[in-house]
Structure 1
Amino acid sequence: MKKRIAIPYILFAATAGVALFYLFRSVGLKNDLKQKETQQAEIDQSLAEFKEVMRIDSILLEGDYKKALNAYNSELKYVKDNPYRIPLRIGLAEQLLDLKSDNTEVIKDSVVTNLDSLQLLEQKVKYDLNVRDSLTFALEKTKVQLATMRRQLSNKSLGEYLKFKNKKGSLMHYVGQVSNNMANGTGVAILNTGSRYEGSWKNNERHGEGTFYWADGEYYVGSYSNDLRNGIGTYYWPNKEKYVGEWKDDKRNGKGTFYGKDGEVFTKGLWKNDKLVEEEK
């Protein structure tokens, strides 16, 4: 028989456990938010560099080679370790500027000679456009993630407190998402028996995926429906034995496998109301 745990101790443990749970969750969200903001700043910087390169490229394509050359040399000095091949652009601008000062026949011959350089620049521009599209997509994705995390940090329903009894009459101290004055969404509840549940809720009942811990060290990870273990789940014992399989109304029902403490299969087959009725050979 399990020892009865003092109510004051349970309330203290419940308060401390819930507080730590949401403290760690808040710290984690803030760290994620900071990381996303750093990523957004890096993407913004890359986009700014890309737009500046494209602006000067447009000057070059318009035929103002001297202005483009000066811009490449002066305005892009801050761009370091970049994929834009600035030296190639500078070299091409210098060649075009030299060609402009020669006669028409020389220009024609030189244009043929430098055709490869022009084609290379055209390919680079196409590559840059792909880079811009990728950066834009990454920026938009990061903005959406930032907005989501900010909503989570500011969502008061993540920390509302409720007290109610479950179907078995056990008192539940609940902290989590609340809708219509009932536990709905994700939350943590500590029972007056010393047990604890973390997971999904629907109208004050465990519903969806969750984990239930008993005071004696046993715990269950899996599906719930109507406040009972229903669906696929795994039950663990302190001696490292476990059952993996189907459940119905808090009992092993359906196909399942029982593992020994060494991790080897002890038995498997068809279960009914916690009993193996048909062993699989």
Structure 2
Amino acid sequence: MKNSRPLLTYGLVLVFGAMALYFWSNSRTLKQQLKEDQVTTQKLSARLAMHEALLHGDSLVIRGNYDDALQTYSKEQEPETESDGAAIEMRMAFAKSFLALQTQKREMDSDPIAELDTLPTATAEPSPSEINTIDSLTFAVEKMRVQVTRLQKQLRNKASGQYLTFTTSKGSVVHYVGEVKDKKANGIGVALLSTGSRYEGQWKNNQRHGQGTFYWPDGQSYEGTYSNDKRDGQGTYYWPNGEKYVGHWKADERFGEGIFYGKKGDIVASGIWEDDELVEEPNRRRK
């Protein structure tokens, strides 16, 4: 029994020593894993912060604040990956292009822009005719405006859109940011044209298609529907002097039921339009 005690003690020492070695080794491994996890977390946090900054820059581009967007992009000087670096360089290039075009727009004189799809300022004289169909047409216009507002909100929420450059059928260079499919503008997006014009809305295969708003540098604008890159359906055309046309369109021309309003909001002309001209006035016909 006396000889067995040292053996028992020696055995216990070995057991506790082995356990201590195991726990020490396990603790060291856990500390190393924790350290690696902390490094990974820091890298992920840095990438997340970078992407949040880029998204902020994208939102500035969509709102037309190209100078601020460029400054935001330029702050991201140390991307974690090559793809991140390429994304930053691409965004900066587009922001510079947008800023240059915006500067050109501001430097343009008061001469009208030679844009094929603009409309001349109307010169029709006010008419005392009352329009019986104005209620139904106004309802259609309000419905369209609600749809456009919804699209604009969706557009602002898609600040992480992709960037494209392409040329229209009229020869204008388009700088586009928004949804892309099959390497073409498809979905919601914003475009700045080399003419200084801007379009916000829906796209299909690099063409304006669906609900959208188009702005010309001289102050004219159009809100409504497009089909195959042309005004088509219900829409409103605004002139800088306060006049506007509310009604139907076909192939970029006023076609169908529509109302033309004067500078003070009074009704100047109303009825059926064809080939961009008023051809029938219902109230006058009834007299």
Report the TM-score range of the alignment, normalised by the length of the smaller protein: 0.3 to 0.5
Normalising to structure 1: TM-score of the pair?
0.46
Normalising to structure 2: TM-score of the pair?
0.45
Structure with more helix by fraction? 1
